[in-house]
Structure 1
Amino acid sequence: MKIALIGYGKMGQAIEQIALNKGHEIVLRIGIENVEDFTIEAVQNADVAIEFTGPHSAVDNIKKCLDAGVPVVSGSTGWLAQWQEVTAYCQACNGTLLYASNFSIGVNLFFKLNSYLASIMRQYEEYEVSMEEIHHTQKKDAPSGTAITLAEQIMGQIPRKTGWVNHATTAANELAIISERVDPAPGTHKIKYASAIDDIEIIHTAHSRQGFAAGAVLAAAFVHGKKGIFSFDDILKASEV
């Protein structure tokens, strides 16, 4: 499989190493030092594009890959206010997009655990739910895309929580997400249900970027030859068949 890497920072380089180890070929590497090489013609040399950049460039990057007729896997976060615009663009191009806030298989299993626990805790209003997330200082968005996904899952199961805030709160309808940025920290997410009697916590801690990179390569292989809009959950479902 020929892969275009759109974003060649630490994550892009980790993805490259895993892709090469699996016998794939990197035909394009786009970083901040060579953005002028990111052309439709260059992307068309690839079977799949993997896009890990930032919230301000992700939308344009995804659209350019779709214009090239190349399936795109995006792990950039912080741009989902434009989700409807991007998915409509993908459909108009008859293109392929797989987006995930986190490509770690472990995190995506953690998503399932989080949703299930929230569905159980819905009826126990004496437990107050809150979240914490820790990432490295180079991460540009806070809270993380993973934390927002976790928060949305909780709010989907616990109707009394109608919105999240990125600070401590005493408002009954708000879900607090506390964000910390320290080095080195690939990523930790904790959901806590606290009561006067006891606490219940679930935690996912990443030890390196390797889990995220491996999941991105897996996603690229999944979308190769497909049309449509996909999530990482589609990959998990396919593995269960």
Structure 2
Amino acid sequence: MKIALLGYGKMGKVIEKIAQERGHEIILRKDESNSFEGLSNADVAIDFSVPTAAVNNISACINASIPVISGTTGWLENYHEMVKLCEEKNAAFLYGSNFSLGVNLFFELNDYLARMMSKFKEYKVSMEEIHHTQKLDKPSGTAISLAYSIINHSDKNSWTIENPKEDDLFIDVKRTENIPGTHTVTYNSDVDFIEIKHVAHNREGFALGAIIAAEWIIGKKGVFTMKDVLDLNSQ
């Protein structure tokens, strides 16, 4: 499989290493200093860039009929625009706020717990998200995905990272050196609390998941998520 890497920072380099270990070839390493030349020769593109570059990267792939996997967060106000473009061009696009197998299982656990806890109003829900200091967006895309799942099953109307109101889900965002990612959901009452947590040890789990998604999307058309890749839609 010939892969175009759109974004060649720390994550891009980990993806490159694991992709080559799995027998794939990197034919384009795109950052702010070079162009999309060679993109048309790729079987698939993997975008782990920055919020300001994501829409341009994804659009270029869709317009060139190259299946694209995006793990860049912080640009989702344009997500539906990319979905529409993908449908118009009959292309293939998969966005994931997190590609880790463990995190996607954690998403399912979070959704199930939120549905159960919706009956017990004495428990107050909150979240904590910790990442490395180089992470540009606050909160993380993973935290936002977790938050919306909770909101869908609760009396919360929105999430916030400061000064929460009664109907807000509070996300406590922290930035600490050398933390790949920690996400915690807590239900607290006067007598006890229930907590679920996912802690990433390194970036390799995210990179492997992105490559598995890239392998999976070859030959497909449509807009997908990691639920499709991991066959979790029926769970």
Please give the TM-score of this superposition, normalised by the length of structure 1. 0.95
2:15 corresponds in structure 1 to 15
2:31 & 2:100 partners in 1: Cα distance?
23
Map 1:81-120; keep pairs closer than 5 Å.
81-120=77-116
SS of the residue corresponding to residue 177 of structure 2 reads coil
The residue identity in structure 2 corresponding to 1:110 is F
Please say if 1:62 is aligned against 2:69.
no
Runs of 4+ in 1 over 3 A off after TM superposition: none
Q: Distance in 2 between matches of 1:180 and 1:221?
A: 34
Distance 1:238 1:142, change over 3 A: closer
- Post-superposition offset of 1:168: 5.0
Deviations 1:160-182 (A, max 9, x none): 1010001252x221100011111
Q: Cα distance 1:236–1:52, how it changes in 2: closer, same or farther (>3 A)?
A: same
Match of 2:208 among 198, 214, 221: 214
What's 1:191 paired with?
185
Q: Offset at 1:86? A: 0.8
DSSP-derived class of the 1:77 partner: coil
CA–CA separation in structure 2 for the residues paired with 1:112 and 1:67: 33
**Local SS of the residue matching 1:132:** strand
**Aligned AA (2:181):** G
Alignment of 1:1-241 (within 5 A): 1-32=1-32, 34-35=33-34, 37-39=35-37, 42-158=38-154, 160-167=155-162, 169=164, 171-237=165-231
Asked whether the equivalents of residues 227 and 233 of structure 2 are also in contact (C-alpha less than 8 Å), the reply is: no
What is the rounded CA distance, in whole Å, between the counterparts of 1:238 and 1:230 in structure 2? 12
C-alpha distance in 2 between matches for 1:238 and 1:100: 14
Give the gaps of 5 or more residues in structure 1. none
Tell me the alpha carbon deviations over residues 207-226 of structure 1, each in whole angstroms, 9 at most, x when there is no partner.
Answer: 00000000000000011111
RMSD over equivalenced CA pairs, Å: 1.5
Query: Under a length normalisation based on structure 2, what TM-score does the superposition of the two structures give?
Result: 0.97
Q: Distance in 2 between matches of 1:53 and 1:150?
A: 22
Q: Per-residue deviation at 1:31?
A: 2.0
Q: Distance in 2 between matches of 1:85 and 1:238?
A: 25
Q: Which amino acid aligns with 1:55?
A: P
Look up the SS of the partner of 1:147 in the other structure: helix
Provide the C-alpha distance between the structure 1 equivalents of 2:108 and 2:132, rounded to a whole number of angstroms.
25
Q: Secondary structure at the match of 1:225?
A: coil
- Aligned mates of 2:142, 2:188 — CA distance in 1: 21
Counterpart secondary structure, 1:16: helix
CA distance in 2, matches of 1:117, 1:238: 16
Instruction: State the aligned residue count.
Output: 235
Note the residue ranges of structure 2 that are not aligned, 5 or more in a row.
Answer: none
Change (3 A) 1:239 1:120: closer
CA distance in 1, matches of 2:226, 2:178: 26
